[in-house]
Structure formats: C-alpha cells, structure tokens
Chain A
Amino acid sequence: MKIAVCIKRVPEMDVRFKIAPGGMGVDETGLKWDMSDFDGYAVEAALQMTEKLGTGEVVVISLGPDAAQETLRKALSMGATRAVHLKADRIPFDNFAIAKALAAELQGGGYDLILFGKMAIDSSNGAVGPMTAELLGVPCVTAVSRLEVANGKGNARRELEGAAELVEFPLPAAVTIDEGVARPRYPSLKGIMAAKKKPLEVKPAQLGDVRLTVTTMALPPERPAGRIIGEGVAAVPELIRLLQTEAKVL
C-alpha cells in the first residue's frame, strides 16, 4: 500500500489576526504555524492503514516556501516514510494552480491512495483535493469520516448535511478527510530523532498561470458588543419583546 498525503502549513487560528500594512494579507508577526487541522487527520489515517497492514509507504507532500519543510518534518516525525517539498516563493491562492503542481508530482507515482484534508483551515477553499483527483482521473470521495481499504477497494463514510452515506470505490483513489477518522498522534521523541534522517526531496512547484488571487484582506465588521438583558425566567418577556419589535424575528 503506497499512500500520498498532501499537507499544508498554516497559521494557528486561536489568535486575533492583524492586517499587514498595505492590506494585502495578514500580519505574520508572532504567528505560530502548524500542519492544517484536517491534514493532520489525513496523515494519521494513512499511518494507521499502513500500520494495520504491516507494510506500505506514506509519502507526505507540501507546496510552499522553505518553511513548508517544518510541516513535512512533523509528518515524518509522526511516522511518514519520506517527504517531497514542492518549492514555491509563496503558496498561491489559485487552487487549480496548486492542483496542477500536485498532480504533476503524483502522476506516475504508483500511489494506491492520495489523501488530503477536506480543506485548509486558513484559505478554506476545499478545492485542491477534488481538483487533483480530476486531473489524475482517479475516483474521489470528499469529507470522509471513516475509511477502510482492502483488496483494491475502499469503503468510506461521508458526512453530509444532517445525514451520512457509505460509499465503495476502486483504488487508486483520492480521498479528502474530515475529522472523526482518527485523532492525530503527537510525534514521539524517538520519532522526532528518526525524522531528521528520513529523506526529504525538494523540487520546484510547477504552478503555471495564477488566475485566482487575493487582492485585499480585512477584518470583518465587529458585532455590536453583547448585551445581557436580564436574569433567569424573569427576563423571558423582555426577550420576547425584543425578538418581536427590535430583531423582528418572531
């Protein structure tokens, strides 16, 4: 079983973001960075599958500037076999350009399974996985919360709006991972030491034309400050009055 996992380095989200001078992006001063949440689930799912089979290879791939190698090393320290860094000055916002670069790397790689997080937690597009699958011509299943593979076939559970579906598909295939599959493990000290010696190959990313860009970034308008209208059951009539006359939702 040969599995590729495409991962992205993103800022940690539990901060108050500031906009950089010029308004083109987020001020990166003081931000901490990590593997995108759903990509962590994807790496974990890949590791568990190869561990269960007792054989196989997990190749992690990340596109971006040199700092992407930190994220690749983290995946290696979790247990991935080797890493490929598709080097670019910056990560473009154009999801099709990224998909093309990933597909160029994945094509002919002999992968049984190609995993993605269901979306990057920063750019929140959720497009690169299914686009890469289309470019490679392989079946694609998105937003998967349970995944099993055996005998050249995959079985997955997809979370839909208020429902779920179970699907079956032939390998090779691309799958985008929702949480629920498996909580990502923390790298062990032994894993961190071992990761330093694992192969990490650097290649230029073949991005092509970029036709989707971010022109400005801004903070959303602040909600008016919250208001406590009262305490306990006694406040209910006032709430009803406000919902009817002020918010006009009742």
Chain B
Amino acid sequence: MANHVLAFAESRGGALRKVAFEAATAARVLADAAGGEVHAVVAGAPGIAGEAEALGRYGADAVAVVEHPAFANYNAEALSALVAERVKSGGYRAVVFVASAQGKDLAPRVAARLGVPLAADLTTVKLEGDTVVGSHPVNTGKVIATVALVAVPAVVSLRPGAVTAAEQPRSARLESAAPVGDPAASRVRVTETIAGNTAKLDLGDAPVIVSGGRGLKAAENFKLVEELAAAFGNAAVGATRAVTDDGWRPHSDQIGQTGRQVSPNLYVAVGISGAIQHLAGMRTSKTIVAINKDREAPIFKIADYGIVGDVLEVVPALTAAVREAKGSH
C-alpha cells in the first residue's frame, strides 16, 4: 500500500514553477524504487487545473487539483493542512517538496503535522531498503552530510536545481479535490505583496546569473550588469551583500551565506572579490566566470575563466560579444 510518492507541485501567479517538475522528477525516482505511483498535488486560484496535465509529462501518474480563490497567493496554513491530509488518507511512502522559499516554509509544517522529521534541502535522494538516503550541504556548503531517514512517510525537500526536471510522459489521471477546512480562514493574513522584478527571471530558476559587487564602484554602474544579463537573455541579476547593504540592489538579490544559494549553469561575477560568505552562495555553480581588476582576488581561485581588468571596460565589451554570439545562432 505505502508505495506511492506524493509530489508537491508549486505554483505562483496561476502557473506551475520549474521546481514543480523537479519535485515530480525526484518523486518518480523514489516511486520507481518503491514500486509505486507518483501523485502530484497542485493548489491555486480557479484556472490552475489547466496546468495540471503538464505534470504528467514529468512522470506524475495522477494529479489532484485544488482550486480556491484563497490559494491565489501562497497560503501556508491551508496548504499544509491540505497536503498533510492527503498524505494521511493516501498512505504514502514519501512526500517530495523543493526547498524554494515556499517549500522551505511548507515542508516542515507538513512533516510536523505528520509527526515525522524532514530531510531538508537535499542535493541527492534515493531509497535504500527501508531508508531514504540523501546528501545535504551543511556548514555553509563546506561539508556534505549524508543523511538517513527511517520515518514513514519520508518527507524530503530538494535544493532547487539539484534535480534536473526530466520528461517521462504519462497521461496523468486528473482529479479535482476539495481543500481541507476553509482556506480563507488562515490566521496569517497577507496585507501587501511587494513585487521585486516580477518580469525578470528568479535567481532560483535562471540558468545564467550575472552578479555584481563593490568593484562596480557606483550604483549607477549596475546597469552594466543588467545589460550583460539582458544579452544572455536567460539570465537573472544577483549581488553581493556589500551591494545590498549599501542599497544599490534590493536585499532579495543577495547571493551568499545569509542570502540566496544558487547553482546556475553559468555564474558571471562582476567586480566581486569573492569573500567566503559570497562563495558559500554560488560555489556550486557549474561554470564560473570572474572579472575583477585585482589578480589576487579570491574569486579567481574558483573561477573557471577569469579576466583581470577594469569591469567598466570589460563588461560592455563582453555584453557586445555575447549579443553577437547569441545573434549568430
């Protein structure tokens, strides 16, 4: 009975997020090992049902859709009640979240409601006999812990981007489900949402991140970073703590030990010296490019490709070259 795996499919603004497919992909791996099915659950404002079928492409055998106006924004209390109740009634072997901002908030609540621990922020996950085994970076990524979880259900969250969403098409059974309790009755009420750069890619979703530091010398020079990001076309803009502390960029753009931890395919560090607090947030990027005037800057110790030079000269030239390279494809 308890062989099925539940994947929480995150949505925002009426659309599934990339992490929803990562959750489905990871759930597929666990379900195949357990000999069960993948069931996804997605909640949103009326209309979210149109998104459900896409989860079948990433390995979901069934998708439960819960539509309610009070799910238009992230609603922690109603979602944790809903997901925990589905897990209890369905007898699941495991529950998979992605540790995005939503997932970090939601997964521990659901685990506590189920009376089990949470194996959080895993970079790998597998089922070995009775145990779910995963890797989890600790001590700001300087040490990798292998963790073992023996609880049933095994509740896990995966680091965003750690699992590559893989298409494994199935025609998912769609089920319309009811919320648990009244989703509009949550005790925590959102009074205002302050949009950041909603038109732009989120740091967690972007395959390329162009990030700027104090080496840019002045807030107005940050436009060079934005222009380079625009030239890549699939890039988000990040910043160091020094830059967000100075108010050049919003706090939410900060990459580092106390900010966002990212692992894009390409990370371009512009005028960033590479303090360990910053490296803790980006050292797992697949390819790192650094441009800095100081040849001794620590960023060059981990940069796959370093250019020593004035960012105010090099970056515009790189932007033009990237534009040309993109145009020629």
Q: Interface on A for B, CB 8 Å cutoff? A: 11, 13-14, 16-17, 19, 26, 37-38, 93-97, 99, 121-135, 139-143, 145, 155, 159-170, 178-180, 211-220, 223-233, 235-237, 239-240, 242-244, 247, 249-250
For B121, give its contact among A125, A170, A247, A249 (CB under 8 Å): A125
Q: Could you write out 14 A-B pairs with CB less than 8 Å apart?
A: A16-B142, A126-B120, A127-B118, A160-B252, A165-B190, A212-B117, A214-B145, A220-B144, A226-B300, A227-B306, A233-B314, A240-B325, A243-B289, A249-B286
Q: How far is the CA of A95 from the CA of B318 in the complex (A)?
A: 46
Contact digits for B125-150, partner A, Cβ 8 Å, 1 yes 0 no: 00000000100111111111111111
Contact A163 B194 (CB under 8 A): yes
Q: How far is the CA of A226 from the CA of B307 in the complex (A)?
A: 11
Contact digits for B197-231, partner A, Cβ 8 Å, 1 yes 0 no: 11010111001100000000000000000000000
Q: How far is the CA of A142 from the CA of B288 in the complex (A)?
A: 32
> Which B residues are CB-close (under 8 A) to A95?
108, 111, 117-118, 120
For A13, give its contact among B121, B142, B232, B266 (CB under 8 Å): B142
Contact A212 B252 (CB under 8 A): no
| A contact face: mostly helix, strand, loop, or mixed | mixed
Pick the interface stretch among B45-53, B54-62, B97-105: B97-105
Q: How far is the CB of B295 from chain A (nearest CB, A)?
A: 7
> Does B317 reach chain A (CB closer than 8 Å)?
yes
Contact A143 B112 (CB under 8 A): no
Contact B146 A215 (CB under 8 A): yes
| Residue in B closest to A250 when the chains form the complex, CB atoms | B325
Contact A224 B304 (CB under 8 A): yes
Q: How far is the CA of A85 from the CA of B92 in the complex (A)?
A: 37
Give the A-B contact count at a CB cut-off of 8 A: 271
| Residue in B closest to A240 when the chains form the complex, CB atoms | B321
For B304, give its contact among A99, A226, A250 (CB under 8 Å): A226
Q: A212-B117, A229-B305 are in contact. Are A99 and B139 (CB under 8 A)?
A: no
Q: How far is the CA of A243 from the CA of B235 in the complex (A)?
A: 15
Q: How far is the CA of A16 from the CA of B276 in the complex (A)?
A: 11
Q: How far is the CA of A207 from the CA of B28 in the complex (A)?
A: 33
Given contacts A121-B140, A229-B305, 19 further A-B contacts (CB under 8 A): A13-B140, A14-B276, A17-B143, A93-B145, A122-B138, A126-B120, A162-B203, A166-B192, A168-B188, A169-B188, A170-B187, A215-B148, A216-B146, A219-B144, A223-B302, A227-B304, A240-B325, A247-B305, A249-B266
Q: How far is the CA of A101 from the CA of B266 in the complex (A)?
A: 43
Contact A239 B252 (CB under 8 A): no
Q: Interface on B for A, CB 8 Å cutoff? A: 73, 76-77, 80, 100-101, 104-105, 107-109, 111-113, 115-121, 133, 136-151, 187-198, 200, 202-204, 207-208, 232, 251-253, 257-258, 260, 265-266, 276, 280, 283, 286-290, 295, 299-310, 313-314, 317-318, 321-322, 325-326
Q: How far is the CA of A96 from the CA of B111 in the complex (A)?
A: 8
For A249, give its contact among B105, B192, B208, B309 (CB under 8 Å): B208
> Which B residues are CB-close (under 8 A) to A93?
145, 147
Q: How far is the CB of A115 from chain B (nearest CB, A)?
A: 16
Q: How far is the CB of A186 from chain B (nearest CB, A)?
A: 19
> Which B residues are CB-close (under 8 A) to A211?
116-117, 149-151
> Which B residues are CB-close (under 8 A) to A19?
143
| Residue in A closest to B207 when the chains form the complex, CB atoms | A249
| B contact face: mostly helix, strand, loop, or mixed | mixed
> Which B residues are CB-close (under 8 A) to A217?
138, 143-146
> Which B residues are CB-close (under 8 A) to A131?
108-109, 111-112, 118
Contact B143 A94 (CB under 8 A): no
For A127, give its contact among B111, B266, B290, B322 (CB under 8 Å): B111
Q: How far is the CB of A139 from chain B (nearest CB, A)?
A: 4
Contact B145 A220 (CB under 8 A): no
Contact B251 A13 (CB under 8 A): no
> Which B residues are CB-close (under 8 A) to A130?
105, 108-109, 112
| Residue in A closest to B265 when the chains form the complex, CB atoms | A249
Q: A13-B139, A97-B117, A122-B138 are in contact. Are A218 and B266 (CB under 8 A)?
A: no
Contact A239 B115 (CB under 8 A): no
Q: How far is the CA of A243 from the CA of B231 in the complex (A)?
A: 14
Contact A139 B116 (CB under 8 A): no
> Which B residues are CB-close (under 8 A) to A94?
117
> Which B residues are CB-close (under 8 A) to A213?
147-148
